Structure 1
């Protein structure tokens, strides 16, 4: 079977390769696979199993696992847990660096292309929805302006997010409807793009137009079960030395992105004497549960995601069948 070439956002084309396809009966090039869903659903383990069975390699799409040293708090797989599978785009940034999805895309796209050239199946894994879309979809990221950003962030710090969000609802109601009113960082970014480009921020928001032949597998997990798993994970993080990990990173100088990361932000408040340790634990659990709901909402909006039960005894086999049907 032959396929048309991939068309990149720039209009260039690249062929679909047909090497290394015995796993799926030689039917076309394996698609780029993405394992998505809420935190603590079991994405990393499934990605490893798929990579083993399909001769693939894992590509990280968790924005916080890009940071070196942020291991316990991000539930980064240990080397033994990776079972010999090569993992890409882990531990590539220092914690002082500000995360950039545009920079991530610049690194990830050539990596995916290189894996396909070698006949290796890319298995993207992570719960940062925009980072997954930055690889798979036709997304372009507007530039930034330090002066505009600084002015808007100063306004955010002084007045809070509400007046900025109100401004966004007037200037770009489509973008406002897609951004949580409490997400100051995203509101600031939207207003920055509007002022810098003169275009609505919504014009740059993701569309469901893939640049790769891809399949997304979501892990479906009942909310009460997920809530319990999140609480258990947080307590295990504490027992594994999360506070000490955060202390070292905090003292080394965490940048604005890393210091606001889920769990780390709560521990820093404990280390700085603002909260008790018990408060930090409880707030980490609560914040993680809220985050998991946002993740699920993001991925549920994408009609291309195929949802599978997280606890299916034959989960890897079910996932491979999904991949086979997409090829």
Structure 2
């Protein structure tokens, strides 16, 4: 199995297509927001033409009102990995990559506990819940950003209903399959420039109209999709809270912060082979590393 990972706007999707064409492989999406139907422009989902005939799986499978579930994704991704001759995971959602690649098990869930904690998150904000997590499970708190409200809620939920530390369920780097992970390395100033350019292109391509249509389809009621980069900011513009320029500027800022978190996540995995995104022989170098395990 091959995984193409790294920060947003680093060129993962294009490299995934190139590798698939060379190896006769098929792409398995590992971007949590590209799982949603209709969220095309804001997630930089490849068009059918850009996929160049390469089959792409796990795109457009969830309605925008559906709450994302990494365990649900894991079940679907593992079935594909078993069935495909050369599965090529492509995406920047670190936990989704790990769920497909590693021996990772997810504790159950309790809807009542989850709803109560999410209400607390909405009312008190992530800092208060993160402080509680530090008291209950310092190891988990150290691994989860204080701003990551959804992950904090999940940790507290597991602690409450299982009686075990959430850190006891956190993943180790134990793969289920032979897998080479190729990370695309982009210097930070260049990545910031690419993110700003991507946001400009999304606006020009009609992101606001896309969000308006999804709003009519229930986007605001989706706890996951409504918080996606770009979509959350445009929703605030449509609600009259921000100007359009503010929404665009905030999308750039939030995406840059997210890219730094992605880099931090993937840098912790010693198995990732990092290659410069702009290397003239990028595809050949990636194929050389892949050949070592195939």
Q: TM-score w.r.t. structure 1 length?
A: 0.88
Partner of 1:48: 17
Partner of 2:184: 219
Q: Are 1:185 and 2:154 matched, yes or no?
A: no
Q: 1:76-95 to 2 correspondence within 5 Å?
A: 76-95=45-64
Q: TM-score w.r.t. structure 2 length?
A: 0.98
Partner of 1:323: 290
Choose from 106, 114, 117 the match for 2:83.
114
Partner of 2:197: 232
Partner of 2:281: 314
Q: Report deviation, 1:159.
A: 1.9
Structure 2 CA distance for aligned equivalents of residues 228 and 215 of structure 1: 29
**Which structure 1 segments of 5+ residues have no match?**
1-31
Structure 2 CA distance for aligned equivalents of residues 52 and 234 of structure 1: 28
Q: Could you report, residue by residue, the CA deviation over 1:255-311 in whole angstroms, capped at 9, with x for unpaired residues?
A: 111111011000000011000000000000000000000000000000000000000
Q: 1:162-177 to 2 correspondence within 5 Å?
A: 162-177=127-142
Structure 2 CA distance for aligned equivalents of residues 155 and 93 of structure 1: 26
Larger gyration radius, structure 1 or structure 2:
1
Q: Is the CA contact 2:80–2:87 (under 8 Å) kept in the aligned structure 1?
A: no
SS at 1:262 equivalent? coil
Q: Report deviation, 1:202.
A: 0.7
Q: Are 1:251 and 2:216 matched, yes or no?
A: yes
Structure 2 CA distance for aligned equivalents of residues 309 and 68 of structure 1: 32
Bigger helix fraction: 2
Q: 1:50-69 to 2 correspondence within 5 Å?
A: 50-69=19-38
Q: Could you report, residue by residue, the CA deviation over 1:39-88 in whole angstroms, capped at 9, with x for unpaired residues?
A: 00000000000000011000000000001100000000000100110000
Structure 1 CA distance for aligned equivalents of residues 184 and 158 of structure 2: 33
**Which structure 2 segments of 5+ residues have no match?**
none
Partner of 2:39: 70
Q: Could you report, residue by residue, the CA deviation over 1:93-117 in whole angstroms, capped at 9, with x for unpaired residues?
A: 11111110000011110111011xx
Structure 2 CA distance for aligned equivalents of residues 236 and 51 of structure 1: 26
Q: Report deviation, 1:251.
A: 1.3
SS at 2:180 equivalent? strand
Structure 1 CA distance for aligned equivalents of residues 196 and 265 of structure 2: 22
User: How many correspondences in the alignment?
Assistant: 292
Q: Report deviation, 1:155.
A: 1.6
Partner of 1:12: none
| Structure 1 consecutive aligned stretches of length 4 or more whose deviation exceeds 2 Å | none
SS at 2:109 equivalent? coil
Partner of 1:292: 259
Choose from 261, 271, 286 the match for 2:228.
261
